[in-house]
Amino acid sequence: MRFPLPSLRLNPLTRKKLLRFRQIRRGYLSFLILCGLVALSAVAELLVNNRALVVRYEDRWYFPTYGAIHTGRDFGLTYDYEVNYRDLKAQFKGTDNWVLLPPIPYSAVENCYRNETFRPRPPDWSKGHFLGTDQINRDILARLLYGFRNALVFAGCFILLTYLIGITVGCLMGYFGGWFDLFVQRLIEIWSNVPFLFVVIIVASVVPAGVGMSLWVLLTIVVLFSWTGMTYYMRSATYREKARDYVHAAQVLGASTRRIIFSHILPNTLSTIVTFIPFTVAGAISSLTALDFLGFGLPPPTPSWGELLRQGTSNLNAPWIVASAFSALVVVLVLVTFIGEAVREAFDPKKFTTYQ
């Protein structure tokens, strides 16, 4: 099986690396599958949502999913709060009005059995609960999908911030060396000895009850204790590249320090950066899941895989909860690992290099 590669204007060395990545079928297929999952999470409201996609009422069209909130009075009912579109669809049956609901017409934070007691319910395809409900009557598939999107947002922002800080500091350490390098190394060593989990517990205890740590507060804490690892790799790579002839030529020509680091040295260390990205994604998702499982992560009722795992271990009589969350986590981490292995092999500097 062959997969077409988009026609891009790339230098020959980069093209060889991408072609090699395409030839590693396990990694490339994992990349395509993961891209599909990311695309599904990006349009999650069109697939899993308790708001209708389209409502046609008295020759007027409404688009509640990405539009305004509509009350019952907008559709000829007597109440002023947001309409239940599942009930509205039943009321419109047999009339010229109609409602188009998503394939899974439930919200990730909605109690699907409002008039019944809280208890996990097994999968029920007739009601649209394909993976069942959790202990608070919320649809598990909805929480999995939105929890995956939260994990992706967390991982993407985590990579952006940690790499921005780590690459900048590491390049400066490797380029200037001397006392600056030694001083920053000592600071990094001191900072690395601060216990990360204790800081999370302290911050979680300081945040007012009922508010909880938001995604951005949690992201800030994790980034503050995660950027140091990248500095060591970039410091070593910068030391190596600084000794190359092209850097000496740029210095002789009067190029500024910023230009030498970010326009000459950094592009030649991209192989190191690219090979770490998939494994960093896996680490970020695992960290968020672990913190949520321990109760120091995202505030309720934010969808989270770690929170589902905690529910599952507390309700072993409802195995569909832990099985769904654990399976989703394993699938995503395996896909990311396969991609990381393929990227590492395809961008191997010993195989694709201009220095022989």
CATH assignment of the domain containing 274: 1.10.3720.10
Structure tokens at 58: 């008295």
Asked if residue 210 and residue 326 are part of one domain, the reply reads yes
Residue 189, by phi and psi: left (phi above 0), alpha (psi -120 to 50) or beta?
Answer: alpha
Flag whether 109 is in a domain: no
Q: In what order do the strands lie in the sheet with 60-62?
A: 60-62, 54-57, 98-100
Flag whether 127 is in a domain: no
Flag whether 245 is in a domain: yes
Q: Return mean pLDDT, the chain.
A: 87
117 pLDDT above the threshold of 60: yes
Flag whether 41 is in a domain: no
Flag whether 108 is in a domain: no
Q: How far is CA 102 from CA 25, 85, 215, in A?
A: 34, 11, 27
- Position 18 scores a pLDDT of 85
Domain count, the chain: 2
Residue range 25-32: mean pLDDT, rounded: 94
Asked if residue 96 and residue 146 are part of one domain, the reply reads no
Flag whether 114 is in a domain: no
Asked if residue 247 and residue 169 are part of one domain, the reply reads yes
Asked if residue 263 and residue 315 are part of one domain, the reply reads yes
Domain residues for the domain of 283 are: 140-346
CB 241 within 8 A of CB 265: yes
Flag whether 146 is in a domain: yes
Which pLDDT tens digit goes with each residue over 146-198? 999 999 999 999 999 999 999 999 999 999 988 999 999 999 999 988 888 88
- Position 354 scores a pLDDT of 46
Structure tokens at 318: 């409802």
- Position 348 scores a pLDDT of 75
Asked if residue 323 and residue 215 are part of one domain, the reply reads yes
Helix count and strand count (H, E) for the chain = 14, 3
Measured CA to CA, the distance from residue 184 to residue 177 in angstroms comes to 10
State which H helix or E strand residue 4 sits in.
none
Q: What whole-number percentage of the chain has pLDDT above 70?
A: 93
Asked if residue 76 and residue 158 are part of one domain, the reply reads no
Asked if residue 327 and residue 182 are part of one domain, the reply reads yes
Which pLDDT tens digit goes with each residue over 54-84? 999 988 999 998 888 888 888 888 888 889 8
Structure tokens at 118: 């809280």
Contacts of 184 (CB under 8 A, 6+ apart): 169, 172, 173, 231
Flag whether 222 is in a domain: yes
Model-level pTM? 0.87
Asked if residue 314 and residue 209 are part of one domain, the reply reads yes
Measured CA to CA, the distance from residue 163 to residue 17 in angstroms comes to 22
- Position 350 scores a pLDDT of 64
Environment class of 355 (CB within 10 Å of its CB; exposed 0-12, middle 13-18, buried 19+): exposed
